[in-house]
Chain A
Amino acid sequence: ELKVEQNPLFLSMQEGKNYTIYCNYSTTSDRLYWYRQDPGKSLESLFVLLSNGAVKQEGRLMASLDTKARLSTLHITAAVHDLSATYFCAVDRWGNKLVFGAGTILRVKS
């Protein structure tokens, strides 16, 4: 059974600081997704990582995938308040189903 674990589950950080969110998964997969969710809102796609070593960057966020370690990271550089949200990673599972992590609640304090 595929399990996806994120840590930390809650992250409070100061503006301007850097931090990394980790996503570990238990079985082989070459496709990993990162989503953002604002409070009470839907999920918005951030990154799609399709192969080992893939790196994607958008603004202050950078995501990477290491399929051998079954690990993806979402790195936040010089955080700003607008990045406050919940971030989910999700992994493809055989049978056309995504398995989501529990989510990381990020709060950026000014």
Chain B
Amino acid sequence: DGGITQSPKYLFRKEGQNVTLSCEQNLNHDAMYWYRQDPGQGLRLIYYSQIVNDFQKGDIAEGYSVSREKKESFPLTVTSAQKNPTAFYLCASNRAGGLNSGANVLTFGAGSRLTVL
């Protein structure tokens, strides 16, 4: 079955550590996205990528980094510069052209919950 796989599901980080969240999709989607979800808030866009080897900052990119070396993969690194990283992180994808190409509904992964100790 096609879908998005995020790992790990739960992750604990000590202060000062970088951690990387994995996102892999087998939907043949060109565009991929990372969102952060905090209790009582909507999803906020961290980074997105429309094609391989290209990505753009979203609304809350500070303290995060990404890469897009393969179409299927869009890992997110939460760096020590992110002062409040405890959150639920969701990866999503959609077809070529992203959200401007008609009704390109996002498909989401199951999420990764990061907790800072």
Contact = CB atoms under 8 A, between A and B. Distances in A.
B41 A102 contact: yes
Interface in A66-110: 88, 90, 92, 94, 96-103
Given A88-B42, A96-B48, A50 B109 contact: no
Nearest to A4: B42
Q: How large is the interface on B (under 10, 10 to 19, 20 to 34, 35 or more residues)?
A: 20 to 34
Interface string B25-57: 000000100010000111111001010000000
A12 interface: no
B110 interface: yes
A42 B110 contact: yes
B41 A98 contact: no
Contacts of B41: 102-103
Nearest to B40: A102
B117 interface: no
A43 B100 contact: no
Given A31-B103, A102-B40, A97 B108 contact: no
A13 interface: no
Interface string A24-53: 000000010100000011111100101000
Interface of A: 4, 9, 31, 33, 40-45, 48, 50, 88, 90, 92, 94, 96-103
Q: Which 4 A-B pairs have the closest CB atoms?
A: A100-B42, A96-B98, A42-B108, A100-B43
